[in-house]
Structure 1
Amino acid sequence: MKQLLIIFIINIIYVSFFTIRMIMVMKGQKLLASLVSTVEVFVYLMGLSLVLDSLDNPLNLATYCIGWGTGVYVGSKIEEILALGYVTVQIVLDSTQNDISIVLREKGYGVTSWEASGKDGYRLVINVLAKRKNERKLYETIENLAPKAFIVSYEPKFFQGGFWTKRINK
Protein backbone atom coordinates (compact mmCIF):
# COMPACT_ATOMS: atom_id res chain seq x y z
CA MET A 1 0.00 0.00 0.00
CA LYS A 2 2.84 2.37 0.83
CA GLN A 3 4.46 1.72 -2.56
CA LEU A 4 1.17 2.48 -4.36
CA LEU A 5 0.88 5.80 -2.53
CA ILE A 6 4.48 6.68 -3.41
CA ILE A 7 3.90 5.83 -7.10
CA PHE A 8 0.72 7.91 -7.11
CA ILE A 9 2.32 10.98 -5.49
CA ILE A 10 5.46 10.77 -7.63
CA ASN A 11 3.38 10.69 -10.80
CA ILE A 12 1.30 13.68 -9.72
CA ILE A 13 4.51 15.62 -9.07
CA TYR A 14 6.12 14.47 -12.32
CA VAL A 15 3.17 15.26 -14.59
CA SER A 16 2.56 18.60 -12.87
CA PHE A 17 6.17 19.56 -13.61
CA PHE A 18 5.75 18.24 -17.16
CA THR A 19 2.65 20.40 -17.71
CA ILE A 20 4.28 23.52 -16.30
CA ARG A 21 7.44 22.93 -18.34
CA MET A 22 5.46 22.61 -21.57
CA ILE A 23 3.63 25.84 -20.85
CA MET A 24 6.90 27.61 -20.09
CA VAL A 25 8.34 26.43 -23.40
CA MET A 26 5.26 27.70 -25.26
CA LYS A 27 5.56 31.06 -23.46
CA GLY A 28 9.23 31.35 -24.45
CA GLN A 29 10.70 30.86 -20.96
CA LYS A 30 13.35 28.40 -22.15
CA LEU A 31 15.85 28.68 -19.31
CA LEU A 32 13.26 28.22 -16.59
CA ALA A 33 11.71 25.36 -18.56
CA SER A 34 15.06 23.56 -18.75
CA LEU A 35 15.55 23.91 -14.99
CA VAL A 36 12.07 22.53 -14.33
CA SER A 37 12.75 19.63 -16.72
CA THR A 38 15.78 18.60 -14.66
CA VAL A 39 13.60 18.10 -11.60
CA GLU A 40 10.85 16.58 -13.74
CA VAL A 41 13.09 13.85 -15.16
CA PHE A 42 14.53 13.00 -11.74
CA VAL A 43 11.04 12.51 -10.30
CA TYR A 44 9.94 10.57 -13.39
CA LEU A 45 12.83 8.13 -13.14
CA MET A 46 12.14 7.49 -9.45
CA GLY A 47 8.48 6.66 -10.16
CA LEU A 48 9.21 4.62 -13.26
CA SER A 49 11.82 2.52 -11.46
CA LEU A 50 9.26 1.61 -8.78
CA VAL A 51 6.78 0.47 -11.43
CA LEU A 52 9.35 -1.39 -13.53
CA ASP A 53 10.66 -3.25 -10.48
CA SER A 54 7.27 -4.88 -10.05
CA LEU A 55 5.60 -5.09 -13.44
CA ASP A 56 3.80 -8.24 -12.33
CA ASN A 57 1.60 -6.13 -10.01
CA PRO A 58 -1.26 -4.60 -12.02
CA LEU A 59 -2.09 -2.29 -9.11
CA ASN A 60 1.24 -0.53 -9.60
CA LEU A 61 0.40 0.09 -13.27
CA ALA A 62 -3.13 1.24 -12.45
CA THR A 63 -1.81 3.56 -9.74
CA TYR A 64 0.75 4.94 -12.20
CA CYS A 65 -2.01 5.69 -14.73
CA ILE A 66 -4.32 7.27 -12.14
CA GLY A 67 -1.43 9.36 -10.83
CA TRP A 68 -0.72 10.50 -14.39
CA GLY A 69 -4.29 11.68 -14.93
CA THR A 70 -4.36 13.41 -11.55
CA GLY A 71 -1.03 15.08 -12.36
CA VAL A 72 -2.45 16.56 -15.57
CA TYR A 73 -5.31 18.06 -13.56
CA VAL A 74 -3.04 19.37 -10.78
CA GLY A 75 -0.56 20.80 -13.30
CA SER A 76 -3.29 22.66 -15.15
CA LYS A 77 -4.60 24.09 -11.86
CA ILE A 78 -1.08 25.26 -10.94
CA GLU A 79 -0.79 26.93 -14.35
CA GLU A 80 -4.11 28.72 -13.77
CA ILE A 81 -2.77 30.07 -10.48
CA LEU A 82 0.54 31.15 -12.05
CA ALA A 83 -1.32 32.69 -15.03
CA LEU A 84 1.83 33.11 -17.09
CA GLY A 85 1.86 35.41 -20.08
CA TYR A 86 -0.61 37.80 -21.62
CA VAL A 87 -4.04 37.74 -23.19
CA THR A 88 -5.44 39.87 -25.99
CA VAL A 89 -9.16 40.49 -25.80
CA GLN A 90 -11.08 41.88 -28.74
CA ILE A 91 -14.33 43.58 -27.83
CA VAL A 92 -16.96 44.48 -30.42
CA LEU A 93 -19.61 46.97 -29.28
CA ASP A 94 -22.86 47.63 -31.12
CA SER A 95 -22.38 51.38 -30.72
CA THR A 96 -19.48 53.66 -31.53
CA GLN A 97 -20.57 55.92 -28.66
CA ASN A 98 -19.05 54.17 -25.64
CA ASP A 99 -16.33 55.35 -23.23
CA ILE A 100 -15.20 51.83 -22.27
CA SER A 101 -11.77 52.47 -23.86
CA ILE A 102 -11.14 55.35 -21.47
CA VAL A 103 -12.11 53.31 -18.43
CA LEU A 104 -9.93 50.36 -19.50
CA ARG A 105 -6.93 52.65 -20.05
CA GLU A 106 -7.47 54.20 -16.60
CA LYS A 107 -7.34 50.67 -15.16
CA GLY A 108 -3.92 50.16 -16.79
CA TYR A 109 -4.80 47.99 -19.78
CA GLY A 110 -3.26 48.50 -23.20
CA VAL A 111 -6.14 49.60 -25.43
CA THR A 112 -6.45 50.23 -29.16
CA SER A 113 -9.84 51.00 -30.69
CA TRP A 114 -11.29 51.77 -34.09
CA GLU A 115 -14.60 52.03 -35.87
CA ALA A 116 -15.63 49.08 -38.05
CA SER A 117 -18.54 48.20 -40.28
CA GLY A 118 -20.69 45.23 -39.26
CA LYS A 119 -23.79 43.54 -40.65
CA ASP A 120 -26.13 45.91 -38.82
CA GLY A 121 -24.09 49.11 -38.99
CA TYR A 122 -21.02 50.69 -37.47
CA ARG A 123 -19.33 49.09 -34.47
CA LEU A 124 -16.57 50.01 -32.08
CA VAL A 125 -13.81 47.40 -31.99
CA ILE A 126 -11.40 47.44 -29.08
CA ASN A 127 -8.24 45.38 -28.64
CA VAL A 128 -7.07 45.06 -25.05
CA LEU A 129 -3.74 43.60 -23.92
CA ALA A 130 -3.58 42.39 -20.32
CA LYS A 131 -1.58 40.09 -18.10
CA ARG A 132 -3.33 36.73 -17.77
CA LYS A 133 -3.50 37.16 -14.00
CA ASN A 134 -5.80 40.17 -14.66
CA GLU A 135 -7.97 38.40 -17.24
CA ARG A 136 -10.96 37.72 -14.94
CA LYS A 137 -10.99 41.33 -13.70
CA LEU A 138 -10.93 42.51 -17.31
CA TYR A 139 -13.95 40.35 -18.22
CA GLU A 140 -15.83 41.61 -15.16
CA THR A 141 -15.10 45.22 -16.13
CA ILE A 142 -16.30 44.61 -19.69
CA GLU A 143 -19.44 42.88 -18.42
CA ASN A 144 -20.23 45.86 -16.18
CA LEU A 145 -19.57 48.50 -18.85
CA ALA A 146 -20.89 46.71 -21.95
CA PRO A 147 -22.96 43.61 -21.10
CA LYS A 148 -23.94 43.01 -24.75
CA ALA A 149 -20.37 43.16 -26.08
CA PHE A 150 -19.04 40.41 -28.32
CA ILE A 151 -15.71 39.23 -26.87
CA VAL A 152 -12.96 37.07 -28.36
CA SER A 153 -9.70 36.35 -26.58
CA TYR A 154 -6.40 34.77 -27.54
CA GLU A 155 -2.85 34.53 -26.23
CA PRO A 156 -0.25 36.51 -28.16
CA LYS A 157 3.23 35.00 -28.54
CA PHE A 158 5.18 37.83 -30.13
CA PHE A 159 5.43 41.47 -29.13
CA GLN A 160 7.16 44.31 -30.95
CA GLY A 161 6.66 48.05 -30.67
CA GLY A 162 4.10 49.95 -28.65
CA PHE A 163 4.32 51.09 -25.06
CA TRP A 164 3.58 47.62 -23.65
CA THR A 165 6.84 46.10 -24.90
CA LYS A 166 8.71 48.29 -22.42
CA ARG A 167 6.63 46.74 -19.61
CA ILE A 168 6.92 43.19 -20.93
CA ASN A 169 10.70 43.21 -21.34
CA LYS A 170 11.31 44.27 -17.71
Structure 2
Amino acid sequence: MLDNALVMIGLILLINIVYVSFFTIRMILTLKGQRYLAAFISVFEVIIYVIGLGIVLENLDNLYNLIAYATGYGLGVLVGMKIEEKLALGYIKVNVIVKDVNTEIPRILRDKGYGVTSWIANGLEGERLMIEILTSRKSEVDLYNTVKKIDEKAFIISHEPKAFYGGFWVKKVRR
Protein backbone atom coordinates (compact mmCIF):
# COMPACT_ATOMS: atom_id res chain seq x y z
CA MET A 1 0.00 0.00 0.00
CA LEU A 2 2.78 2.45 0.87
CA ASP A 3 4.44 1.74 -2.48
CA ASN A 4 1.94 3.94 -4.27
CA ALA A 5 3.30 7.49 -4.04
CA LEU A 6 -0.10 9.20 -4.07
CA VAL A 7 -1.44 6.94 -1.33
CA MET A 8 1.62 7.69 0.79
CA ILE A 9 1.29 11.45 0.26
CA GLY A 10 -2.41 11.28 1.16
CA LEU A 11 -1.70 9.18 4.23
CA ILE A 12 1.05 11.54 5.45
CA LEU A 13 -1.22 14.52 4.87
CA LEU A 14 -4.13 12.91 6.75
CA ILE A 15 -1.96 11.71 9.64
CA ASN A 16 -0.51 15.17 10.18
CA ILE A 17 -3.90 16.88 9.98
CA VAL A 18 -5.19 14.53 12.70
CA TYR A 19 -2.01 14.83 14.79
CA VAL A 20 -1.89 18.64 14.77
CA SER A 21 -5.63 18.86 15.42
CA PHE A 22 -5.13 16.72 18.53
CA PHE A 23 -2.11 18.86 19.47
CA THR A 24 -4.12 22.09 19.16
CA ILE A 25 -7.02 20.74 21.19
CA ARG A 26 -4.68 19.36 23.85
CA MET A 27 -2.95 22.73 24.22
CA ILE A 28 -6.27 24.52 24.57
CA LEU A 29 -7.50 21.99 27.13
CA THR A 30 -4.25 22.43 29.06
CA LEU A 31 -4.69 26.21 29.08
CA LYS A 32 -8.30 25.80 30.22
CA GLY A 33 -7.24 23.61 33.17
CA GLN A 34 -8.63 20.34 31.76
CA ARG A 35 -5.44 18.46 32.59
CA TYR A 36 -6.78 14.88 32.67
CA LEU A 37 -8.57 15.17 29.35
CA ALA A 38 -5.49 16.86 27.88
CA ALA A 39 -3.29 14.00 29.14
CA PHE A 40 -5.67 11.41 27.68
CA ILE A 41 -5.68 13.13 24.27
CA SER A 42 -1.88 13.41 24.33
CA VAL A 43 -1.57 9.60 24.30
CA PHE A 44 -3.29 9.44 20.90
CA GLU A 45 -1.49 12.54 19.73
CA VAL A 46 1.94 10.98 20.30
CA ILE A 47 0.98 7.65 18.68
CA ILE A 48 -0.23 9.46 15.56
CA TYR A 49 2.86 11.71 15.55
CA VAL A 50 5.32 8.81 15.74
CA ILE A 51 3.55 6.90 12.96
CA GLY A 52 3.48 9.94 10.64
CA LEU A 53 7.04 10.99 11.35
CA GLY A 54 8.23 7.41 10.91
CA ILE A 55 6.67 7.21 7.45
CA VAL A 56 8.29 10.49 6.41
CA LEU A 57 11.72 9.59 7.83
CA GLU A 58 11.69 6.21 6.07
CA ASN A 59 11.02 7.96 2.79
CA LEU A 60 13.06 11.17 2.96
CA ASP A 61 14.17 10.63 -0.63
CA ASN A 62 10.75 11.83 -1.83
CA LEU A 63 10.33 15.61 -1.53
CA TYR A 64 6.56 15.25 -1.93
CA ASN A 65 6.35 13.35 1.36
CA LEU A 66 8.00 16.24 3.18
CA ILE A 67 5.69 18.73 1.45
CA ALA A 68 2.68 16.60 2.42
CA TYR A 69 3.93 16.50 6.03
CA ALA A 70 4.34 20.30 6.18
CA THR A 71 1.02 20.94 4.42
CA GLY A 72 -0.74 18.51 6.76
CA TYR A 73 0.74 20.39 9.71
CA GLY A 74 -0.65 23.70 8.47
CA LEU A 75 -4.05 22.23 7.67
CA GLY A 76 -4.06 20.54 11.07
CA VAL A 77 -3.68 23.91 12.78
CA LEU A 78 -6.71 25.20 10.86
CA VAL A 79 -8.80 22.08 11.59
CA GLY A 80 -7.83 22.13 15.28
CA MET A 81 -8.80 25.79 15.56
CA LYS A 82 -12.15 25.09 13.89
CA ILE A 83 -12.83 22.21 16.28
CA GLU A 84 -11.96 24.39 19.28
CA GLU A 85 -14.20 27.13 17.94
CA LYS A 86 -17.09 24.63 17.79
CA LEU A 87 -16.35 23.35 21.31
CA ALA A 88 -16.23 26.95 22.61
CA LEU A 89 -14.75 26.01 25.98
CA GLY A 90 -14.64 28.49 28.82
CA TYR A 91 -16.06 31.90 29.54
CA ILE A 92 -15.60 35.46 28.39
CA LYS A 93 -16.03 38.84 30.01
CA VAL A 94 -17.57 41.35 27.65
CA ASN A 95 -17.50 45.11 28.15
CA VAL A 96 -20.08 47.11 26.23
CA ILE A 97 -20.02 50.91 26.11
CA VAL A 98 -23.03 52.81 24.76
CA LYS A 99 -23.87 56.52 24.47
CA ASP A 100 -27.45 56.20 25.75
CA VAL A 101 -27.18 55.90 29.54
CA ASN A 102 -30.91 55.02 29.67
CA THR A 103 -30.69 52.10 27.25
CA GLU A 104 -32.62 48.90 27.89
CA ILE A 105 -29.60 46.72 27.09
CA PRO A 106 -28.86 45.72 30.74
CA ARG A 107 -32.49 44.71 31.38
CA ILE A 108 -32.79 42.79 28.10
CA LEU A 109 -29.53 40.92 28.76
CA ARG A 110 -30.60 40.09 32.34
CA ASP A 111 -33.93 38.79 30.99
CA LYS A 112 -31.92 36.49 28.71
CA GLY A 113 -30.01 35.14 31.74
CA TYR A 114 -26.74 37.02 31.41
CA GLY A 115 -24.97 38.33 34.50
CA VAL A 116 -24.84 42.09 33.98
CA THR A 117 -23.23 44.91 35.95
CA SER A 118 -23.60 48.45 34.65
CA TRP A 119 -22.52 51.94 35.70
CA ILE A 120 -22.19 55.44 34.32
CA ALA A 121 -18.70 56.24 33.03
CA ASN A 122 -17.17 59.35 31.53
CA GLY A 123 -15.74 59.23 28.04
CA LEU A 124 -14.18 61.80 25.75
CA GLU A 125 -17.62 63.01 24.65
CA GLY A 126 -19.40 62.82 28.00
CA GLU A 127 -21.36 60.20 29.93
CA ARG A 128 -21.57 56.64 28.70
CA LEU A 129 -23.14 53.51 30.07
CA MET A 130 -20.54 50.85 30.81
CA ILE A 131 -21.92 47.31 30.86
CA GLU A 132 -19.93 44.28 32.00
CA ILE A 133 -21.18 40.78 31.17
CA LEU A 134 -19.81 37.33 32.04
CA THR A 135 -20.97 34.53 29.76
CA SER A 136 -19.96 31.20 28.30
CA ARG A 137 -18.12 31.28 24.99
CA LYS A 138 -20.99 29.28 23.48
CA SER A 139 -23.25 32.30 24.10
CA GLU A 140 -20.76 34.87 22.78
CA VAL A 141 -22.24 35.32 19.30
CA ASP A 142 -25.80 35.55 20.65
CA LEU A 143 -24.66 38.21 23.12
CA TYR A 144 -22.99 40.29 20.40
CA ASN A 145 -26.03 39.97 18.13
CA THR A 146 -28.41 41.02 20.91
CA VAL A 147 -26.34 44.12 21.75
CA LYS A 148 -25.85 45.07 18.08
CA LYS A 149 -29.59 44.69 17.41
CA ILE A 150 -30.34 47.25 20.14
CA ASP A 151 -27.42 49.60 19.51
CA GLU A 152 -25.40 49.02 16.36
CA LYS A 153 -22.87 51.68 17.43
CA ALA A 154 -22.11 49.99 20.77
CA PHE A 155 -18.41 49.54 21.51
CA ILE A 156 -17.81 45.89 22.45
CA ILE A 157 -14.60 44.35 23.76
CA SER A 158 -14.13 40.91 25.27
CA HIS A 159 -11.53 39.23 27.44
CA GLU A 160 -11.09 35.70 28.65
CA PRO A 161 -11.01 35.70 32.47
CA LYS A 162 -8.47 33.45 34.12
CA ALA A 163 -10.59 32.99 37.24
CA PHE A 164 -13.72 34.35 38.83
CA TYR A 165 -15.30 33.97 42.25
CA GLY A 166 -18.52 35.06 43.92
CA GLY A 167 -21.54 36.75 42.40
CA PHE A 168 -24.97 35.31 41.68
CA TRP A 169 -24.11 33.97 38.22
CA VAL A 170 -21.09 31.94 39.38
CA LYS A 171 -23.44 29.70 41.38
CA LYS A 172 -24.95 28.54 38.07
CA VAL A 173 -21.58 27.81 36.45
CA ARG A 174 -20.59 24.16 36.29
CA ARG A 175 -17.13 23.68 37.78
- Return the TM-score normalized by structure 1: 0.96
The residue that corresponds to 2:119 in the other structure is 114
Does 1:69 pair with 2:89? no
SS at match of 2:30: helix
Q: Which amino acid aligns with 2:61?
A: D
Counterpart residue number, 2:54: 49
Find the counterpart in structure 1 of residue 137 from structure 2: 132
Alignment gaps of 5+ in structure 1: none
- Aligned partner of residue 130 in structure 2, secondary structure: strand
Per the TM alignment, residue 133 of structure 1 is displaced from its structure 2 partner at its CA by 1.0
- The CA distance in 2 between the partners of 1:36 and 1:166, in whole Å, is 30
* Residue equivalent to 1:82: 87
State the match for 2:10 in structure 1. Answer: 5
The Cα of 1:118 is off from its aligned counterpart by 1.1
1:93 pairs, out of 76, 98, 103, with 98
CA distance in 1, matches of 2:57, 2:121: 61
Kindly provide the amino acid, as one letter, of the partner of residue 160 in structure 2: E
Moved beyond 3 Å, runs of 4+: none
Shift of the alpha carbon at 1:165? 2.3
* RMSD of equivalent CA atoms: 1.0
> Separation in 2 of the partners of 1:117 and 1:147?
20
Q: Does 1:35 align with 2:31?
A: no
Secondary structure of 1:133's match?
helix
Q: Alignment partner of 1:128: what SS?
A: strand
Distance in 2, matches of 1:110 and 1:46, equals 48
- Quote the Cα distance in structure 1 between the aligned partners of 2:71 and 2:124: 50
CA positional deviation for 1:75: 0.6
Specify every segment of 5 or more residues in structure 2 that has no aligned partner in the other structure, as ranges: 1-5
Separation in 1 of the partners of 2:8 and 2:140?
Answer: 41
Instruction: Supply the distance in 2 between the matched residues of 1:129 and 1:66 (Cα, whole angstroms).
Output: 38
Select the residue among 2, 7, 16 that pairs with 2:21.
16
* Equivalence for 1:59: 64
Q: 1:15-64: per-residue Cα shift (whole Å, max 9, x none)? A: 00001111111111111111111111111111011011111111111100
Q: % of aligned pairs identical?
A: 51
